[in-house]
Structure 1
């Protein structure tokens, strides 16, 4: 063999070795778990962090405030959990999975987060939202009871119904403790290996061909995938959705009663009510003195979420006070406690869940429009699925961000 042929042979061998090395590198890259960031450790972000850490993913969370802070939709002591869903039966499979995951988080941590004392849906039989509730319980075999006006008031004298109104008792519903749930999920994620940077503001998210750079607290971090769960700040992160996404002020109110024993969790299921001047909801007394009766209606747009105006004019409470006087004979008709929060609302009041249009590395979970907290654990599981494979087996087609893409 001449030196020329020997040189050529060695060159061919080197090329072959290099090709094998490249294939091996690509295979290892495919097999390697992605490094994932979660931006915003609130309702959805805390659950995404928990699910990703539980799956053994290298996950880092960024939160501009402290854990379980009150500046977003996770505040207010309590949230209703319901599977008989006014917003549409498409949500029921997600809610059933979410209930299982709530109980799984409780089992892992020993915390009491979900009380299944039932949820009562009230309104005119012909109202489309009540029709959605009935479709939900029938199509998905939810344990329930349908009660007419007289039956409802006999069983639950805390409510006064009008002619033609009915109620549907969702026995699979109840009450969630949101602040405790956020903190519990985040701390469980940390125990499973997640890294949490609280009091750390994300200044930039920059997609690169090989990943995503996050600048936070003046430092640059490299990730394969990014999950953005920014709540009221979602439109600021993704201005392409601003025509369909706005943050709104939420006001919650609590009322005293001379008959408090009628408003304990064992006597008073959580409820949602339509057909009146405004849509309302209620939670039994958890802290022992007051009952939460709130308005689903929002109280104006929030232009700068970090400057949420927390004052409430007395006139702003007129509508909810009238509904309390009309529908709840056992409660005082002016609130003894008021708190202000906010959430991001889409133009169709269904969330944005999935890849940001044009990206395979950045995903958004936002715009839950005031009815998302009950679904937080399953949304965490969906976030994990998206980060690991880009898709999920959960049915979220109706929540695709692409529906608002220009």
Structure 2
């Protein structure tokens, strides 16, 4: 009879893995997590001090129930730890009247009764003079939006999981995942761990875990930028909500000032492909600086158009820009989370629930079927199975 080390193993205790561990621990499920760095590290997609939390969702109204559940869980994690993780500043969605962008946002609002205001051009210009408002620019002010503190949120989810009985191995290099009839094995430099169920939440390293799944997500480099302001009082969170703006040929997002001196504003598009996540180039390209400075000059004139800080991160992008979350097609003992395509952090608590549900009961009540990995073509050979996970985590 096989002796298991815990009921569930979790490979990757970052954004999604820490939430999965927290959910499992709250249910009294024994779980062991393996993290190649430490929870809250900045080497993938969870750095940069702040992440948007949007409820009037331009990516599709079907996300709204997951977002609302995530908000409740973020607030619970904050209450349990005594740390404010979610700052509900409201969120401005600014664009051209009648644009596809604003139509998508409006659809989420209408279908789910999201608390909001619609600001016409004059109202937008009057209430938010920090933005350069052109004729035809309008906005939704989503009162159910704000921002999250990513590094501390991941670290606290992991520490809460440990407080409740979970085990997290930090700086733990996983060298192989092996499927046997008796167990799912996780091989580290120290020993072999055996589990009846496994969750793989390895972020941008997921493409190294999933041979034979087509299309694999692409790893894309993301650059975040900070700009100084001579009037920091105009960019505090009580007067300057988070925003997403598509106008004048630019697509940008911004946050209130956290440090009282700089404002984080960045391009929404990923920049270029990363061939190997272990070899990420953290030097931003000059062309990006030129583009984002042009955007600042055009759209946010109260910010000095000089990049005084830049952070380079990564995320995995799928072909349809929706994540894959659910059982691995050819072995349902394994649940996989990946490919969040630049908009996953806010959803992490709901994704942790989905992963914990699948790892314990094989199903979930949350409306996440549209993220099922089975929507992608799968062509897994016997050789793929033998090679599965040779480079899981480093």
TM-score by length of 1: 0.90
Distance, in Å, in 2 between the alignment partners of 1:33 and 1:201 is 17
Among 165, 168, 178, which residue is 1:196 paired with?
168
1:4 is matched with which residue?
Answer: none
1:371 matched to 2:343 = yes
1:167 matched to 2:139 = yes
Deviation at 1:242, TM superposition (A): 5.4
Deviation at 1:260, TM superposition (A): 0.8
Among 297, 307, 313, which residue is 2:269 paired with?
297
1:217 is matched with which residue?
Answer: 189
Distance, in Å, in 2 between the alignment partners of 1:135 and 1:305 is 36
2:205 is matched with which residue?
Answer: 233
1:117 is matched with which residue?
Answer: 89
Deviation at 1:121, TM superposition (A): 0.8
1:84 is matched with which residue?
Answer: 56
Q: Any residues of structure 2 matched to 1:261-276 within 5 Å, and which?
A: 261-276=233-248
Which one has a bigger Cα radius of gyration?
Answer: 1
1:184 is matched with which residue?
Answer: 156
Distance, in Å, in 2 between the alignment partners of 1:239 and 1:130 is 39
2:226 is matched with which residue?
Answer: 254
Distance, in Å, in 2 between the alignment partners of 1:135 and 1:327 is 25
Q: Report SS of the residue matched to 1:87.
A: coil
Deviation at 1:33, TM superposition (A): 12
Q: Which has the higher contact order (CA 8 A, sep 6+)?
A: 2
Identify if the C-alpha distance between structure 1 residues 33 and 387 changes in structure 2 by more than 3 Å, giving closer, same or farther.
farther
Q: For residues 146-178 of structure 1, what are the alpha-carbon distances to aligned partners after superposition, in whole Å with 9 as ceiling and x for unaligned? A: 111221111011111232221111101101000
Q: Any residues of structure 2 matched to 1:2-401 within 5 Å, and which?
A: 35-241=7-213, 243-401=215-373
Distance, in Å, in 1 between the alignment partners of 2:323 and 2:357 is 17
Distance, in Å, in 1 between the alignment partners of 2:10 and 2:248 is 40
Q: Are the equivalent residues in 2 in contact too, given 1:64–1:199 (CA < 8 A)?
A: yes
Deviation at 1:263, TM superposition (A): 0.3
Deviation at 1:278, TM superposition (A): 3.3
Unaligned regions of 5+ residues in structure 1, if any? 1-24
Unaligned regions of 5+ residues in structure 2, if any? 379-394
Q: For residues 338-381 of structure 1, what are the alpha-carbon distances to aligned partners after superposition, in whole Å with 9 as ceiling and x for unaligned? A: 11111111111110011111221001111001100001111111
Distance, in Å, in 2 between the alignment partners of 1:275 and 1:288 is 27
Q: Report SS of the residue matched to 2:23.
A: helix
Deviation at 1:239, TM superposition (A): 2.5
Distance, in Å, in 2 between the alignment partners of 1:62 and 1:251 is 27
Q: For residues 42-99 of structure 1, what are the alpha-carbon distances to aligned partners after superposition, in whole Å with 9 as ceiling and x for unaligned? A: 1111111111111101100000112211101100000011100010001000000000
Among 372, 375, 382, which residue is 1:403 paired with?
375
